[in-house]
């Protein structure tokens, strides 16, 4: 951290200083494999998104024109909701979903299938012909080798038994974040090495190292990360309150106003939760 960061800490109260120190420790340990850090790495950064997706897909002329983090799929009414880590759109209309999954349970084949099918639902309008479905990629970067074959990259597409392609333009890729063969100096192997690094100086790829350095070693970047950590903590607390409220609503013992008082949610939020539960009952 530099002098400006130190000066900012001197002007803080003791409680603020302690919270800041906690935040700095968390930031120091972050790797691109960590969800919270990964989202900030790619947020509003089309060049970095394009670089990473080019390396993973092998499409050298991939041109990303739009990149969104924490993208909510809106057309899944009545189905399990999805919030995508990163959704990129290229100049030809391809939709590329990039997910980082540290837990093996979050990187199953059926989850990848659901992501892929949800993209189809999201991006085909009511009267569109099926030929207008975009080409889609669902990419899971996993901390462990979830497929267990020691490969760096696993690529899946629909094929006939004789090996001929179905040609439906869907692609599912699993990238093994644990891959660590010292003699493999491919761009993808170097990228996965960097996803395991917490220090920019240890990284091998310039774009990822530069953005990591910006978020961890500049006052603006550190402030961005501290705000992201604070917002994430608020989301966690809010989700806990929602879970408690749902359980209390189901018991039917307390009034909605009492549940609101107990959980810190607004009465309107509790009523909406109750309405949702009624519709799914």
Spatial contact of 86 and 97, defined as CB atoms under 8 Å apart? yes
Whole-number pLDDT of residue 258 = 94
Whole-number pLDDT of residue 75 = 85
- Please tell me the distance from the alpha carbon of residue 175 to that of residue 107, in angstroms, as a whole number: 11
Whole-number pLDDT of residue 212 = 98
| Structural domain boundaries in the chain | 31-217, 233-280
Whole-number pLDDT of residue 40 = 95
Cα 59–chain centre separation: 22
Predicted TM-score (pTM) of this structure: 0.83
Q: Which of 155, 91, 87 is nearest to 123 (CA)?
A: 87
Question: What is the pLDDT tens value at each position of the chain, 281 positions in all?
Answer: 555 555 555 556 887 788 889 999 999 999 999 988 999 999 999 999 999 999 999 999 999 999 999 999 988 877 888 999 999 999 999 999 999 999 999 999 999 999 999 999 999 998 999 999 999 999 999 999 999 999 999 999 999 999 999 999 999 999 999 999 999 999 999 999 999 999 999 999 999 999 999 999 999 999 999 999 998 888 889 999 999 999 999 999 899 999 999 999 999 999 989 988 876 55
| 143 SS3 class | coil
Strand partners, 96: 88, 137
| 42 SS3 class | helix
- Please tell me the distance from the alpha carbon of residue 32 to that of residue 13, in angstroms, as a whole number: 31
Spatial contact of 44 and 52, defined as CB atoms under 8 Å apart? no
Q: Which of 84, 110, 122 is nearest to 172 (CA)?
A: 110
Map tokens 């220090």 to a residue. Answer: 199
Whole-number pLDDT of residue 7 = 53
Dihedral, CA of residue 222, residue 225, residue 230 and residue 236, to nearest 10? -160
Class of residue 244 by CB neighbours under 10 A (exposed 0-12, middle 13-18, buried 19+):
middle
């Amino acid at each position: 951290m530099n002098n400006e960061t130190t000066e900012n800490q001197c002007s803080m109260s003791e409680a603020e200083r302690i919270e800041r120190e906690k935040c700095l420790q968390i930031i120091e340990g972050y790797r691109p494999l960590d969800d919270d850090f990964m989202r900030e790495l790619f947020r509003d950064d089309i060049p970095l998104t394009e670089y990473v997706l080019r390396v993973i897909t092998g499409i050298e002329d991939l041109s990303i024109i739009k990149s969104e983090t924490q993208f909510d799929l809106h057309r899944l009414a009545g189905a399990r909701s999805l919030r995508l880590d990163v959704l990129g759109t290229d100049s030809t209309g391809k939709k590329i979903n990039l997910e980082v999954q540290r837990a093996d349970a979050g990187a199953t084949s059926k989850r990848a299938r659901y992501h892929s099918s949800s993209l189809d639902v999201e991006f085909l309008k009511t009267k569109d012909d099926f030929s207008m479905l975009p080409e889609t990629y669902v990419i899971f970067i996993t901390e462990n080798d979830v497929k267990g074959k020691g490969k760096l990259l696993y690529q899946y597409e629909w094929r006939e038994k004789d090996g001929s392609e179905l040609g439906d333009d869907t692609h599912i890729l699993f990238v093994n974040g644990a891959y660590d063969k010292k003699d493999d100096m491919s761009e993808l192997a170097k990228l996965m090495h960097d996803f395991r690094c917490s220090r920019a100086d240890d990284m091998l790829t310039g774009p990822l190292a530069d953005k990591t350095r910006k978020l961890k070693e500049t006052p603006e970047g550190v402030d961005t990360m501290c705000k992201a950590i604070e917002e994430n903590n608020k989301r966690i607390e809010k989700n806990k309150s929602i879970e408690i409220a749902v359980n209390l609503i189901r018991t039917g013992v307390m009034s909605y106003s009492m549940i609101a008082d107990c959980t810190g949610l607004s009465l309107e939020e509790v009523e909406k939760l109750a309405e949702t539960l009624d519709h799914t009952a």
